[in-house]
Structure 1
């Protein structure tokens, strides 16, 4: 052991991703993940089609969409506070014109990985009347809990812990990689209004070819067209006549 790092010398040698101590919980346990390049062979430290990257001093950037949560999943009491600023990119299902900003906190409670946060952005939606673009601010809270499942070794110690997303169709965790981008997409989509209108009066709506729009003067009544001769018309007259005779 290096003499400069002996216990009791007052030097704090804990890394950002150190395990929890009896004194206080540690912050960390989350690393950035980047998608593997398809033309490259998948390296040994990868998880499926994703590769763990160094990031900035091992800390995810605000625009990272994929987070490796392996360490925080196996470290009781550890937490991680992540500031978000995700810009729009080609291929995004959610049409947002300003970056998704906010903050999320992940906490290992022992039984579950708890995720809480608040995010906002501006979505490009369509006016329900004239179909023109309406820029709509959307803000939402995020509340998720993912079960932590461990494999117990012969010594009774959980050597590997996995965070499990119970949502089979919309799972955002695969192989201890959290798809934060997809999680935010789901929450913002649910928070977006289903009906929006232009802030001001809608512009004149173009009519289909052959359709004439007629304006009535104030107080004028629209003329009622004469009903076409039909068997139902005569049936109605017969029923009315029968009812009058019954009342006499």
Structure 2
């Protein structure tokens, strides 16, 4: 068994959509390599930071991401596997990239209760506390609004 702590930087951007791990962003790996009968068992944790935009208010965000991995790298010549030991080495790049990209949020938010943008003005609702977004009135019912406005003034 061997344990390694590595700091690596990807050569390209990992991820698509609203958030991604940018190129040259440090990635911390703490891995344990164990020799087993079928091959080499790799387990550990990955820590980095993703950057992008909030899906509700479009504010720039940067959040930490931590992923646990465990994968068996089989020896060549045995069953077909996604990961194989090659020349007594294991290539962790594909494993690390896939684990990070799959852990990125599909709809990231700057805060869990982010109210988003006002559909009429496009302003961030979080910057205007106490104001509720008004639902647009269906134009077919617009004539009835006159009756409610007159009734509330009396």
TM-score calculated relative to the size of structure 1 = 0.40
RMSD: 3.7
SS in 1 for 2:98: helix
Residues 191 and 223 from structure 1, CA distance in 2 versus in 1: closer, same or farther, beyond 3 angstroms?
Answer: closer
Deviations 1:121-151 (A, max 9, x none): 111132112333311211011100122246x
The residue correspondences of 1:1-248 to structure 2 (distance < 5 A) are: 79-89=1-11, 91-94=12-15, 95-96=20-21, 98-149=25-76, 166-167=81-82, 171=83, 177-199=89-111, 213=121, 223-226=137-140
What is the CA-CA distance between 1:179 and the residue it aligns to? 2.6
1:112 positional shift = 2.2
Q: Which runs of 5+ in 1 are unaligned?
A: 1-78, 151-162, 228-248
Q: TM-score of the superposition, structure 2-length normalised?
A: 0.60
Change (3 A) 1:132 1:172: farther
Distance 1:137 1:164 in 2: 37
Size of the aligned set, in residue pairs, is: 125
- Relative to structure 1, the CA distance from residue 182 to residue 131 in structure 2 (aligned partners, 3 Å threshold; closer, same or farther) is farther
Does the CA-based 8 Å contact 2:57-2:114 persist in structure 1?
Answer: no
| Counterpart-to-counterpart distance in 2, 1:112 and 1:124 | 36
Distance in 1 between the 2:135 and 2:76 partners? Answer: 72
Deviates more, 1:111-120 or 1:97-106: 97-106
Q: Which structure has the bigger radius of gyration? A: 1
Long gaps (5+) in structure 2: 122-130, 142-154
Seen in structure 2, the aligned counterparts of structure 1 residues 107 and 202 have a Cα distance that, compared at 3 Å, is: same
| Aligned partners of 1:146 and 1:164 also within 8 Å | no
TM superposition shift of 1:181: 2.4
Question: Bigger relative contact order, structure 1 or 2, given CA contacts below 8 A and separation 6+?
Answer: 2
Contact preservation (8 Å) 1:81, 1:106: yes
